[in-house]
Amino acid sequence: MNTGNHLTEIRKRAQLWLNGNYDAETKRQVRELLENNEKELIESFYRDLEFGTGGLRGIMGVGTNRMNTYTVGMATQGLSNYLKKEFHGISQIKVAVAHDSRNNSRLFAETAVNIFSANGFKVYLFDALRPTPELSFAIRYFSCQSGIVITASHNPKEYNGYKAYWDDGGQIIAPHDKRIIEEVQKIRSIDEVNFKASPENIEIIGKEIDEIYTDQITTLSLSPEIIMQQGELKIVYTPIHGTGVKLVPMVLRKFGFKNIITVPEQDVPDGNFPTVHSPNPEEQAALAMAIKKAEEANADLVMATDPDADRVGVAVRDHKGSFVILNGNQTASLLIYYLLTKWAEKNKLTGKEYIVKTIVTTELLAALATHFRVGYFDVLTGFKYIADIIKHFEGKKTFIGGGEESYGYLAGEFVRDKDAVMSCALIAETAAWARDQGKSMFTLLLEIYKEFGFYKEKLISLVRKGKTGQEEIQQMMRDFRANPPVTINKTKVTEVIDYLSDASLRKVNEKNKGIKIPKSDVLQLITEDGSKISIRPSGTEPKIKFYFGVKEKLNDIREYEKVNKLLDEKIEQIIEDLKIK
């Protein structure tokens, strides 16, 4: 990118925007880059923003490598062209559109709506920002063929994104993902995009869907009588300036919780996320204001959702009374344990029920499923694969719940993506159930560890930017494949699972009761003592990720700190043995 020839090519690409049918403000900004900002010019035009298997995600701005109305427009036209081919027998294709609180999200959503309508589609557009899971629900409710949500999830404020969904309400997977990408890549000019809206094809939807969606969530409640007793449970909730601001408190109240405390500064939808460095509920700093509020109010539970309200971070009081943030594996374990326990108590388990987790999520979920004699399935990282399992078994088996380590959970079958609105309600119900037994959520977690084993996980992400970084990541994967360790932490490696290997996948799919996992660039090392190390390059960021899972017996919850330290040391020794730094 630093050669004169390359810069000449980039300038030609930018010049096309000056000469093309772009608006005056866009041309002014392009001209500014050409004349005064070579570095940003290169970043903005050196390539096309890639429409990947999950859609678009990138920094907002002018240029072919940026999120703007034109890149959104070309993606939408490509998706429209594919929908016309795939659903050519339908008299009118239907799509639903939602967006989060990010800067330009409404603009990008309306741009997409105009193009869908211009292509003859019936379009359902939410009247204002809405959670991503409600978009999934709306696709199914209106029997749509597709849908999109404008969001960049928990990314920094400079980013926005475009996620595409199929007719089952799940994110798009094979074979449609690759085929849509091909159609998008065929759009070479904005002159091929039909921006002229057909208003008669657009229907604005809003609070009526909120009511139907949240009412549906209340049908998942398994302990309404306990909530009647524990409805005063003090819950602090923050949407971190995002889409959960209205619906999470609404559904908590519908469940019967009366003492919902909010963080006023963070109740304001704002794409600049002014009170946090990053609106990511995985990070302790994002929950800091909510935890402070909880300490002041002597609250029992803290919950925070990301900008599009599909993921939730949770903080509870530990055995010393201080707030600790649960990781995604811990929250998933508490939630699945509660769901399975109540299903068993209510004699709802018939032998046709199941849960789903991803291959990098805690094996404690598998242990819980085995104990309660329900099926469980492993899928690749990404909630779209959990949605695909639900679709596969629809009408044959019953999905109880599922989750992934990255703070996404789901129960029931009427939504097909991770749902923080639903999760907040069920997590609060789990806390009420524990409290009704005189326990805190943390004590409940320790009791689960005592009964099923103390499982602990850690994630390390190594960032390797640029072309050389990508090559380094690929070389690391090749090295681990070619020379996997024989022992780790003085324990024999008993199994190496390569998700690019036909032989490995045959074994995995056999264990997975015939559910086929597609090939993926993932390597797993399993040791004799039950430790699991998963290695995979990120699909969306310049990172290689290492997931560590270890376990020990916890004979007495009073030994928690001792065993917790032992597990930490175990993980650190594994990291040292694998030379990860």
For the chain, the structural domain boundaries read 47-208, 228-452, 454-577
Q: pLDDT tens digits for 440-469?
A: 999 999 999 999 999 999 999 999 987 788
- DSSP codes joined into one string, 173-201: -TTHHHHHHHHHHH--SGGGS-----GGG
* Segment 154-165, tens digit of pLDDT: 889 999 999 999
What DSSP designation does 391 have? H
The radius of gyration of the chain's CA atoms, rounded to the nearest angstrom, is 24
By C-alpha distance, which of 143, 110, 105, 107 is closest to 125? 110
Say whether 454-577 and 228-452 share the same fold: no
Domain 228-452 -> CATH class: alpha beta
Per-residue pLDDT tens digits for 295-316: 999 999 999 999 999 999 999 9
Which of 105, 146, 153, 504 is the catalytic position?
153
Our answer to whether residue 221 is catalytic in this structure is no
Q: What is the pLDDT of residues 366-386, one digit of tens each?
A: 999 999 999 999 999 999 999
β-bridge mates for residue 387, sequence order: none
pTM: 0.95
pLDDT of residue 216: 98
Look at residue 511 in the predicted model and tell me its pLDDT: 84
Q: Which of 69, 162, 163, 86 is nearest to 121 (CA)?
A: 86
Task: Give the separation between CA 153 and CA 161, rounded to whole angstroms.
Answer: 8
pLDDT, averaged across the chain: 95
Q: For residue 53, what pLDDT band results from cuts at 50, 70 and 90?
A: confident
pLDDT above 70 covers what percent of the chain? 99
Using the predicted structure, report yes or no on whether residue 574 has a pLDDT greater than 70: yes
Taking only the tens place, the pLDDT of each residue in 224-239 is: 999 999 999 999 999 9
Please state which CATH class domain 454-577 belongs to: alpha beta
According to the model, what pLDDT value does residue 4 have? 60
Query: Does position 3 have pLDDT exceeding 70, yes or no?
Result: no
> Is pLDDT at 135 greater than 90 in this prediction?
yes
pLDDT score of 1 more than 50: no
* CATH fit for domain 47-208, picks 3.40.462.10, 3.30.70.150, 3.30.70.920, 3.40.120.10: 3.40.120.10
Are the beta carbons of 196 and 114 closer than 8 angstroms?
A: yes
Strand order in the sheet with 408-411: 375-379, 353-358, 398-404, 408-411
